[in-house]
Amino acid sequence: MESKPQKNEQMSKVRDMVEEIRIAMMTTVDDQGNLVSRPMAALQFDEEGNVWFFTQRTSPKVDQIEQNERRVNVAFASVSDADYVSISGVANEVDDRAKIDELWNPQAKAWFPKGKDDPELTLLKVHTQMAEYWDSNDSTMVRLFQQAAAVVTGNPPKMGENEKVYN
């Protein structure tokens, strides 16, 4: 995944975590009002706080985004590291062949066997409006000890850094 220096310096931590985790669950709202999530691979976190994804033009999520004020949530999780990021934002379908060329990678061919010239291939750009992250700097053993101590003392464990960032 490619990431770029952030114009909003507070977004740098979010960018670093997204770059490390890379796979997200993108949530949209379907026609019946249900929240629907699916895994997506982040391709780039640009300097404006946009997260870029490939998708199929005829994917239901593209219609769901258009029908529901383009609001989405993108959640990244690394359970083994106890690192989590939740991004609330606005998504847009972007048909930009130059940007597709820039972001194309060999792994994308698994999802788009016709390659980067596939007419079904399009981009989703999610502009981050608000992100919240939880970052544990402690090892698994320290986290387990903190959780065990919390059970005994009745005080919630301190599980790392938590911050909301607005873009």
**pLDDT value of residue 8:** 72
Region at 120 (left for phi over 0; alpha for psi -120 to 50; beta for the rest): alpha
Q: What is the mean pLDDT of residues 137-162?
A: 54
**pLDDT value of residue 61:** 96
pTM, entire model: 0.82
**pLDDT value of residue 49:** 93
Q: Which two tokens stand for residue 23?
A: 């796979």
Domains of the chain: 2-166 (2.30.110.10)
- Give CA–CA dist 67/123, Å, rounded: 17
Count CB-CB contacts under 10 A for residue 11. 21
Q: Which two tokens stand for residue 28?
A: 């949209």
Is the pLDDT at 47 greater than 50, yes or no? yes
- Give CA–CA dist 24/19, Å, rounded: 11
Query: What's the pLDDT band for 142 if we cut at 50, 70, 90?
Result: very low
E strand map for 30-142 = 35-41, 44-45, 50-56, 71-78, 83-94, 121-135
**pLDDT value of residue 145:** 45
